[in-house]
Chains A and B, each alone.
Chain A
Amino acid sequence: MSQAHDASLIMQDGHGDGHGEGHAHEHHPFHQHHFTTMEQQFDASKIGMWLFLATEILLFGGLFVGYGIMQSRHLEAFVAGHHHLDWKLGALNTCFLLISSFTMVMAVWAASNNRNGNKRGVLITNLLLTLGFAGGFMVVKYFEYSHKLHDGLLPGKFFSYTGPDAVPNMFVFFSFYFMMTGLHGFHVLGGMGAITYLIIRSIKGDYSSEYFTPVDLIGLYWHLVDLIWIYLFPLLYLIT
Chain B
Amino acid sequence: MTTVDHKRLGVMYLWAVLLAFLVGGVFALLVRLELMNPGEDFMTAEQYNQAFTLHGAIMVFLFIIPSIPAALGNFVMPLMLGAKDVAFPRLNLASFWVYVAGAVMAVTSIVVGGVDTGWTFYTPYSTSTGGAVTMMTLSVFVLGFSSIFTGINFIATVHKLRAPGMGWFQLPLFVWGIYATAIIQVLATPVLGITMVLLIMERAFNIGIFDAQIGGDPVLFQHFFWFYSHPAVYIMILPGMAIISEIIPTFSRRTIFGYRLIALSSVAIALIGFLVWGHHMFTSGQSALAASIFSFLTFLVAIPSGIKIFNWIATMYKASISLNTPMLYATSFLLLFGIGGLTGIFLGALSVDIHLHDTYFVVAHFHYVMMGGTVIAFLGGLHYWWPKMFGRMYNETVARIACALVFIGFNMTFLTQFFMGSQGMPRRYYTYLDQFQPLHQFSTFGSWVLGAGLLIAAVNLMGALRGPKNAPDNPWGGTTLEWQTQSPPITHNFAGQPAIEHNPYDYRYFKVPSDAV
Which A residues form the contact surface with B (CB < 8 A)? 1-12, 14, 16, 32-36, 40, 43-45, 47-48, 51-52, 54-56, 58-63, 65-66, 69-70, 73-74, 155-158, 168-169, 171-172, 175-176, 179
Partner of A55, one of B189, B474, B503: B189
* Binary interface encoding of chain B residues 377-411 relative to chain A, with 1 for a CB under 8 A from any of its CBs, else 0: 00000000000000000000000000000000000
Chain B interface, number of residues (Cβ within 8 angstroms): 69
Instruction: Using CB atoms, name the residue of chain B closest to A54.
Output: B186
Q: Is the CB of B208 within 8 A of A7?
A: no
In contact, B205 and A175 (Cβ under 8 angstroms):
yes
Q: Contact: A40 with B160, CB < 8 Å?
A: yes
Evaluate contact between A10 and B484: CB separation under 8 angstroms: no
Which of A1, A4, A32, A56 has most B Cβ within 10 Å?
A4
Find the B residue at minimum CB distance from A64: B194
30 A-B residue pairs with Cβ-Cβ distance under 8 Å, sorted by A, are A2-B513, A3-B511, A5-B510, A6-B479, A6-B509, A6-B510, A34-B85, A40-B161, A44-B87, A44-B159, A47-B155, A47-B160, A48-B87, A52-B152, A55-B189, A59-B193, A61-B194, A62-B190, A63-B198, A66-B198, A66-B224, A73-B217, A74-B215, A156-B201, A156-B208, A157-B206, A171-B206, A172-B215, A179-B198, A179-B207
How many angstroms from the CA of A1 to the CA of B486 in the assembled complex?
8
Whether the Cβ atoms of A7 and B499 lie closer than 8 Å is yes
**Residues from chain A with Cβ under 8 Å of B503 in the complex:** 6
**B207–A156 CB distance below 8 A:** yes
Q: How far is the CA of A168 from the CA of B208 in the complex (A)?
A: 12
CA distance A169 to B474 in the complex (A): 67
B207 lies within 8 A of A172 (CB):
yes
B82 at the interface (CB under 8 A from A): yes
Interface residues of B (CB under 8 A from A): 82-89, 91, 148, 151-153, 155-157, 159-161, 163, 186-191, 193-195, 198, 201, 205-209, 214-217, 220, 224, 472-474, 479, 481, 483-484, 486, 491-492, 494-504, 506, 509-511, 513, 515
A18 to chain B, nearest CB (A): 11
| Separation of A168 and B27 alpha carbons in the complex (Å) | 45
> In the assembled complex, which residues on chain B have CB atoms less than 8 Å from the CB atom of A63?
194, 198
A70 contact set on B, CB distance < 8 A: 208-209, 216-217
B201–A55 touching, CB < 8 Å: no
Residue picked from B157, B201, B496, most chain A C-beta under 10 Å = B496
Q: Is the beta-carbon distance between B215 and A2 smaller than 8 angstroms?
A: no
A10 to B155 Cα, complex, angstroms: 26
Pick from B186, B494, B502: contact of A51, CB below 8 A: B186
* Known contacts A48-B88, A55-B189, A66-B209; A6/B198 CB under 8 A: no
A55, B506: Cβ atoms under 8 Å?
no
Across the two chains, which residue of chain A brings its CB closest to B192?
A: A62
A37–B186 Cα distance when bound, in Å, is 26
Q: How far is the CB of B88 from chain A (nearest CB, A)?
A: 6
A62→B198 contact, CB < 8 A: yes
* CB nearest to B195 among chain A residues: A62
User: Closest chain A residue to B144 by CB distance?
Assistant: A55
Within the complex, what minimum Cβ distance (angstroms) separates A168 from chain B? 8
Q: List the 7 closest A-B pairs by CB distance, nearest first.
A: A62-B194, A175-B207, A16-B492, A156-B205, A58-B190, A2-B513, A6-B502
- Across the interface, do B498 and A7 meet the contact criterion of CB distance under 8 Å? yes
- B205 & A59 in contact (Cβ 8 Å cutoff): no
Across-interface contacts of A44 in B (CB, < 8 A): 87-88, 156-157, 159-161
- Distance of B153 from chain A, by nearest CB (Å): 8
A5 to B195, CA, bound (A): 51
State the CA gap A130–B327 with chains docked (Å). Answer: 59
> For B501, what are the chain A residues with a Cβ–Cβ distance below 8 Å?
6-8
Q: When chains A and B are docked, how far (Å) is the Cα of A179 from the Cα of B198?
A: 9
Residue of A nearest to B151 (CB): A51
**In the bound complex, what is the Cα–Cα distance between A44 and B89 (angstroms)?**
12
- Contact yes or no, B473 A2, CB < 8 A: yes
Determine the chain B residues whose CB is within 8 A of the CB of A175 once the complex forms: 201, 205, 207-209
| A2-B513, A48-B152, A62-B195 as given contacts; A7 in contact with B492, CB under 8 Å | no
A157 and B207 CA atoms in complex are apart in Å by 7
Nearest Cβ on chain B to A210's Cβ, whole angstroms: 18
Task: Provide the bound-state CA to CA distance between A34 and B513, in Å.
Answer: 29
Task: Name the one of A2, A12, A56 contacting B497, with C-beta atoms under 8 angstroms.
Answer: A12
- A6 pairs with B506, CB closer than 8 A: yes
Q: Please tell me if the beta carbons of B191 and A62 are within 8 angstroms of each other in the complex.
A: yes
